[in-house]
Structure 1
């Protein structure tokens, strides 16, 4: 493929098929600043984003440390609860006491208090707060899934989207190869998109978070470095994924690793009743899907006038030629270009109208146009249509196998060759080194 053709193609990795068919809740950890953190012993208080201030105050002024603060789902309520309990009973009834400088002079010894989930009451409190937070997150997620008032511009092409959030997320994954995950796995999506948009507005790469001098340089960097994605190790994004709320004190990496270990350990499980999830094939020209391959071929023939079986027979296409033809047509349609005459249009609807009006449905260009190595690679991920292709003479293999003559190897000259072999001459003459 020529360099100019490669630059026009613009598809560097498989696309994603579209899925079948605004919440104002505060995002955990977003730092809205509405809640107060109160000191457990005095009147000191700070806003939630400044939690380090009150934790430092507890350590320096009251010699108390709260273990695993980052694992507490609702820190303001947690501290309010323990403030009430410390008014009822002394702190030593709940906290482990740590003596510093125990071997030194008595006047230099200090006692610190550790509040942690080793105490059953503390553990129960943390679990209740976690459960309440999970319920809130799931309620918010369900509202976002059902919400059709979503309205937003694409971060990459400024195309406008209204309705359900999945339309924008699927568009960015399909058209810009930027995926933040399945819509159903995401919560607080508006805040998530705001966070990403702010980074782009500040000319910051979404993956490596380096800052660039202008938008053009940033776009080139993200494209060339394959940085059009988010960094999974950036815990700033954890709060936007439901998996991070499922279990107390466990991140998504830990939850997934446990799931993988369970799969490896369950070797004795009975899988006899397991049924594979049906794979849907997608039409070459529209979003129509079917779990039955006969239906998808019938749909393309009746609705679009395209008969893949006829082309395979007429052109005597081998298996890999069919693969390249399907990938070629998918890529041309995705790029709003007629695969028959190569005319370019503004949108997919226009090119489909042109193909039908001009009778180009069954018109293919020269075979050298599409029988190219780059079309070995699928245009879309998990393209089930490719899995149904068969070799044109595959069905005749059994019938003709008995008619193929088997020619015996001619061994008449083997004895003469053996006598005159170079190796034997070297052995006779002693020319072979030990």
Structure 2
């Protein structure tokens, strides 16, 4: 795109001239020839414009004029995030393919990635967990003209976010994976969470939702997942660390298996089956895709190492996903250790949900618990096995580096704010 066209789209003042291919809001990841879009967050992105230019950026959006290196351009706007959204909406209007939006309390990224694999090389998926306004703008602004499908993840932690994102993404097919207790700090009731998630179906041609939420669906056509729905899980279980399950999709019955243990892959496959039915994709393709599918990083990834097994599910956590992960841990033979961080953003529900987690660990026979974070004290108090609690990060990491994990199956799970990736790496080294 040339700089003049960009200035017209975002209603900005052009200084200089040039062209760019692709955009980014992170100067550390900018590629040569891309447009840098600085936004104001915890730090002001304008502080990194020179860094972006030094890494090869062709130009920048900016809220204030900057000194330009030779051959670069800038488009001056009132608000860079607002301009970014205008560019994203312009790109969305130009896109002629099918857009699938995915939201839910659990399984958004896994479902998005599975759909991407099912739809093949002509499908563009949102990167990582880029599911907020900034992430949506990034995805749409980089959407290739050659793509036939776009699968975009949509997230929220406060009322109205999904509705705003939906107006930008405009999905033809709206997917709600599941609805449960998550972000209860921003949503006081489960009904409020349901309303927020189901707002993705507003204006969609087709929606795929849990069968119990059909009455809240606002799409022209609604496909359901669950007992008596368009796609139904007939049975499922974990055997030898693999998930085996049967789906009834339309008039077909499918036998599937996955190397990913737990119900998350079952639900993702059921959603994908409903989408496949709508788009006319042969369901036999789904069987192959599920069998070969690997989980996104830090999402129920199972590593069988020489001295034990590591279940890395540390990307995020809420009560629903935490229960799924702990049940996966319980399905393994031999001694088991749960290394758990807090489930954040639960508000007043936090203490109760952390106590319930301790009760679940007891019921499933987990022998050892290493807990990090203030709220997990409630979990350790309830837990009847051998429990260890830490609020000091250095003490927690030191304990992890010395704990006898050898010969055990270890689950690592917690919210993003716990930053448990370091613990994962230490445990992996201990089990090698």
Shorter-normalised TM-score: what interval? under 0.3
Which of structures 1 and 2 has the bigger CA Rg?
1
Which is strand-richer, 1 or 2? 2
Larger relative CO (CA 8 A, sep 6+): 1 or 2? 1
Which is helix-richer, 1 or 2? 1
TM-score, normalised to structure 1's length?
0.23
TM-score, normalised to structure 2's length?
0.23
